[in-house]
Amino acid sequence: MNPVETSMTPEIKQALRKFLAENSDDGAANITDETNLFESGILDSFKILTTVLFIEETYAISLDFEELNESNFHSIDAMADFIRTRL
Amino acid sequence: MKLVPFFDADWDRFVAFAAGNIGNSPPVDRRFFEHFFRSDESGIWSGRILESDDGDFEGVAFLIEVPAKFGDAPAQIAWPSVLFASPKAQAVGGGAQLAFWYYRNLPFVPSIGGTVKGNMIKDRLSLRTEGIDLERFILVLSPRAAELAPPECRQAVTDGVYAGGGSAAPGLRATWSDGIPADYEHVWRNFRRKFMFTTERSPAYLRWRYVDAPLLSYKFLAVHDDRGLVGLAVTRVQKTPAGPVCRIVDFVCEPDRAVEAWRAVVGELAEEDFLFADFFVVGTAFHTALAEASFHRCDGKVGIGGLPNLLSPPEHRDWNYTFHVGGTVAMRDHSWRRPDAVYFTKGDSDRDWPTMHDIASMKNG
């Protein structure tokens, strides 16, 4: 991972946290970067779609259906790692 | 979770999954599913299985793939039909993965109506266009139809009963049949030129969709003059406690004779014992002709629109009249987004499929 990519991580995480807080029920306000978003009910089939579209629009990337999986989306950490690999 | 193709050999796994997750809508009948979802003889079905990393069956999506025209080019459209994910899969976004697959990989993915929740996904992955929604037109044929409407709509239904008039042009006759008229293809070729985006309603398509469809029974109402076929309505009769209802699920006619053709159909329907007839359509092709033939255009569930769409059994469940199109080509090329450019009917997609109530009625004659 190059230094530029690494330096973007806090910004990505902050953007994801803000998006989830604005688009989820109250529970999203207290999540950490490691919180399992599926187990905590913050992401479901519909919310994961809105999150994917937010990521595509914000970072100008196009996701494949195979990338829409639990390992890439289970936490803010996982999503940020995944986004970084696509930038 | 991963998506894998559905092969013939997966049927038993699907049946086991369906028993715990799907219920009976649509009826889990192999002949019915093969007819609509097994797109060719290769043994691969038009859909995907959602599998856990251990290979467990956790969800499925089936689509109805049919030929279409898009501009001057042949196209393939895929109507999403069955989409189910197990609670375990739903908890990790499995349903979304299935929807994402077809919306992002197939060229044209239209959908008609549905629930508010379903529309939340469609609104994000496909396009809804102003002036291109599903429209319902109703011809009330008997005051007894009011028995199916909620109390606040009954007077409007009674007041709207067809009073005759606007009869078919002299020399036109409408006749019922179980098959497709031999001269249908000529009419279809003329009709299809009017539209930029529509299902290829060729004789082969009509045979597959209506004549050979398992568990469904359609009748054709053909309008002829002395020179040949002028128009063709495809109908399905649904029985209700108050009497039979005629659902017109498809219609094709000579482009410049729509009013005459619809009037001839109305004249024939009025001779039967139907409570009402209705026709659902996307696109403005027949708006004027239907009005001139005494159909009422229903805006929502007020007045005559209070007559339920869901008749097997009659129920007033919330159901919206939206039309969306997604898919890789439809999202990129917007030339189809004109109300006069598209033509789809209730016979397209799975909106005309039987419920278990229908099947029980058929078995009981």
Q: What percent of chain B has pLDDT over 90?
A: 76
Query: What's the confidence (pLDDT) of residue B225?
Result: 95
Dihedral sign of CA atoms B144, B145, B148, B153 in order = negative
Neighbouring residues of B228: CB distance < 8 A, sequence distance ≥ 6: B183, B186
**What pLDDT does residue A46 have?**
81
Interface of B with A in 102-121 (CB under 8 A): 104-105, 117, 120-121
pLDDT digits (tens, 9 = 90+) for B261-300: 999 999 999 999 999 999 999 999 999 999 999 999 998 7
pLDDT at B93: 87
| Residue among A63, A66, A68 whose CB faces B93 most closely | A68
Residues 121-140 (B) with a CB less than 8 A from some CB of A: 121, 124-125
Question: Which chain A residues are within 8 Å of B91, Cβ to Cβ?
Answer: 38-39, 44
User: Measured between beta carbons, which residues in chain A are less than 8 angstroms from residue B94?
Assistant: 45
Tell whether the model's pLDDT for residue B236 goes beyond 80: yes
Rounded-to-integer distance, Cα B48 and Cα B4, Å: 6
Is pLDDT above 60 for B365? no
Q: pLDDT confidence of B354, banded at 50, 70, 90?
A: confident
pLDDT given for residue B166 in this prediction: 57
Residue among A45, A64, A66 minimizing CB distance to B96: A45
Q: Is B2 in contact with A66 (Cβ distance < 8 A)?
A: yes
Task: Kindly report the pTM of this predicted structure.
Answer: 0.91
Chain B contact present for A59, CB below 8 A:
no
The residue-averaged pLDDT of B9-25 equals 87
Residue B167: its pLDDT value, please? 61
* B16/chain A closest Cα distance in angstroms: 23
pLDDT digits (tens, 9 = 90+) for B299-345: 877 899 999 988 877 877 766 789 999 999 999 999 999 999 999 99
**Residue A34 DSSP one-character state:** T
Disruptive mutation site among B92, B101, B103 for chain A (greatest number of A CBs within 10 Å): B92
Given a cut of 90, is residue B197 above it in pLDDT? yes
pLDDT reported for residue B271? 93
Give the DSSP letter string of B335-350. Answer: TT-STTTEEEETTSTT
- Pairing, β B243-253 against β B276-282: parallel
Mutual orientation of helices A76-86 and A3-23 as an angle, nearest 10°?
130
Which of B2, B96, B105 minimises the CB distance to A46?
B96
Kindly list the residues from chain B whose CB atom is less than 8 angstroms away from the CB atom of residue A49: 93, 96, 99-100, 121, 124-125
Minimum-distance CB partner of B120 among A46, A64, A65: A46
For the purposes of burial, counting CB atoms within 10 Å of the CB of B55, is it exposed (0-12), middle (13-18) or buried (19 or more)?
Answer: exposed
* Mean pLDDT value across residues B118-129: 88
pLDDT in tens, B152-180: 999 999 999 998 865 667 789 999 999 99
d(CA B196, CA A32): 51
B3 contacts A44? CB cut-off 8 A:
no
Q: How much is the pLDDT for A8?
A: 76
pLDDT at B355: 76
In chain B, whose CA is at the least distance from the CA of A70? B92
ipTM above 0.85 for this complex: no
Checking if the pLDDT of B23 tops 80, the result is: no
pLDDT surpassing 70 at residue B364: no
Provide, as residue numbers in chain B, all residues whose Cβ is less than 8 Å from the Cβ of A37: none
Is residue A46 less than 8 Å (CB to CB) from chain B? yes
Q: Quick check: B101 and A38 CB within 8 A? A: no
Query: Which pLDDT score is estimated for B118?
Result: 77
What percent of chain B clears pLDDT 70, i.e. is strictly above it?
Answer: 96
pLDDT of residue A3: 52
Check residue B270 and give its pLDDT: 94
The pLDDT value recorded for residue A6 is: 58
pLDDT at B312: 79
How far, in Å, CA of B258 to CA of B52, rounded?
Answer: 52
* Stretches in chain A below the pLDDT threshold 70: 1-7, 26-27
